[in-house]
Amino acid sequence: KPQLLIDTDPGVDDALAILMAHAHADIAGLSIAAGNVGLGHTVRNARTLVDLVGGGVPVFAGCPTPLVRGPEEDAAFVHGADGLGDVGFAEPVATAEAEQAALALLRLTRERPGELTLVALAPLTNVALALRLDPTLPQRVKRLVVMGGAVTGLGNTGKVPAEFNIGFDPEAAHVVFEAFPQFELVDWEATLRHAFDEPEFDGWLDAGDKRAEFFGQVFRTARAFNASSKRRGIIAADALAMAVAIDPSIVTRSEERHVAIELDGRLTRGATVVDWTGRLGHPANARIVLEVDQERFAAMVRRALGAA
């Protein structure tokens, strides 16, 4: 089974990704970022998810703000004010550890060098902090899989052609993309190509499993947002990245390229800059995932919802 360390800001699609990790892998820990909503909510949501899967997964609270500038917008309008659809869940039983997320990333990878795949489903603040404290972190990580970026500039943030996780903390993404010699990038545009058919997805939610029931509840606000923005199908960015993390053989098409993040642009702060032609002459740092096997992706999600 893959051994995963998950940096996350739950978040509705983060929740689905965590359910997938629980069904298909071992979770060494959840390090929690601010992003979709504030850190207080994302930590509590992670604890709620740990309760749902029966406990036993440590939760580490991370950095409450981006590294340099304050966040311009969160994603509460997609995920709900509390980040999980404003369902009103009871106070979770699982607690957060005292250890700071960046320190936990360093410690866990020291205890198990070369064993853990780091799955980054949130703004990269915690991972960047860990790297600044210990630049040897990449040597101890088996793989880094990042949900982030918009490789042809489509993006999903308000003002600039950026993707949310990168746009929320561009400096953190810059630090991580410079420091890791090789990572796998699942960008927003890949997500759009891998939406699920809505009636089919709803069938999985009707499976009767408590995980399906939970996801059906937390998904209501995001579904309404999807409908209002005329997006087609069920889009689950973090779930797609998680599928790649769990089983890289699911990838059917990818490109190795150098990827950097724009930090200053007048119109493009947070944009993903892919050197498609190689004109910059840097070695490729990213394997950009372009297509995965949709049937296998669907099967992973179905099982995570108890609908297999």
Q: Which residues bind Ca ion (CB under 5 A)?
A: 9, 11, 14, 121-122, 238
Task: Note the maximum CA span of the chain.
Answer: 54
The rounded Cα 188 to chain-centroid distance in angstroms is: 11
**In the complex, residue closest to ligand BDR by CB:** 164
Q: What's the burial of 55, exposed, middle or buried (CB within 10 Å: 0-12/13-18/19+)?
A: exposed
Q: Residues 60, 180, 188, 196: which binds ligand BDR (CB under 6 A)?
A: 188
What is the four-CA torsion angle of 254, 122, 109, 1, rounded to 10 degrees?
-60
45 counts as binding ligand BDR under rule CB under 6 A: no
The residue among 189 and 238 lying less far from Ca ion, judged by its C-beta, is 238
13 is an interface residue for ligand BDR by CB under 6 A: yes
- The residue written with tokens 């498609």 in the block is 276
Cβ 102 to ligand BDR, closest distance in Å?
Answer: 19
Q: Which of 100, 98, 87, 81 is nearest to 38 (CA)?
A: 81
Q: 77 vs 276, which CB is nearer to ligand BDR?
A: 77
> Nearer to ligand BDR by C-beta: 140 or 305?
305
Cα(305)–Cα(282) distance, rounded to whole angstroms? 42
Identify which of residues 95 and 152 has a Cβ nearer to ligand BDR in the complex: 152
Asked if 109 and 140 count as a contact pair (C-beta separation under 8 A), the reply is: yes
245 near ligand BDR, judged by CB under 6 A: no
- Give the containing element (helix H, strand E) for 254: strand 251-257
Beta bridge partners of residue 291, listed in sequence order: 253
Beta bridge partners of 273: 260
Shortest Cβ distance from residue 281 to Ca ion (Å)? 33
Q: Which of ligand BDR, Ca ion, none has residue 74 at its interface (CB below 5 to 8 Å by kind)?
A: none
Under the criterion CB under 6 A, does residue 184 sit at the interface with ligand BDR?
A: no
37 binds ligand BDR (CB under 6 A): no
Residue 216 CB, shortest distance to ligand BDR, in Å, is 18
Instruction: Select 163 or 169, whichever has its Cβ closest to ligand BDR.
Output: 163
165 near ligand BDR, rule: CB under 6 A: yes
- Which helix H or strand E contains 31, and what residues bound it? strand 26-32
CA distance linking residue 62 with residue 193, whole number of Å = 31
Residue 131-160 contact track with ligand BDR, rule CB under 6 A, x = bound: ----------------x--------x----
- When CB distances are held under 5 to 8 angstroms depending on the partner's kind, the choice from Ca ion, ligand BDR, none that residue 48 binds is none
Q: Site residues for ligand BDR, window 114-133 (CB under 6 A)? A: 121
From the list 8-16, 60-68, 90-98, 257-265, the region that binds ligand BDR by CB under 6 A is 8-16
Q: Does 187 bind ligand BDR (CB under 6 A)?
A: no
8 A C-beta contact, residue 186 and residue 144:
no
Evaluate whether 66 touches 72 at the Cβ level (below 8 Å). no
| Binding partner of residue 196 among ligand BDR, Ca ion, none, CB cut-off 5 to 8 Å per kind | none
Token pair, residue 246, equals 């769990």
List helix spans (H) across 2-114. 12-24, 39-52, 76-79, 101-111
* Site of interaction with ligand BDR (CB under 6 A): 11, 13-14, 36, 75, 121, 147, 156, 163-165, 188, 237-238
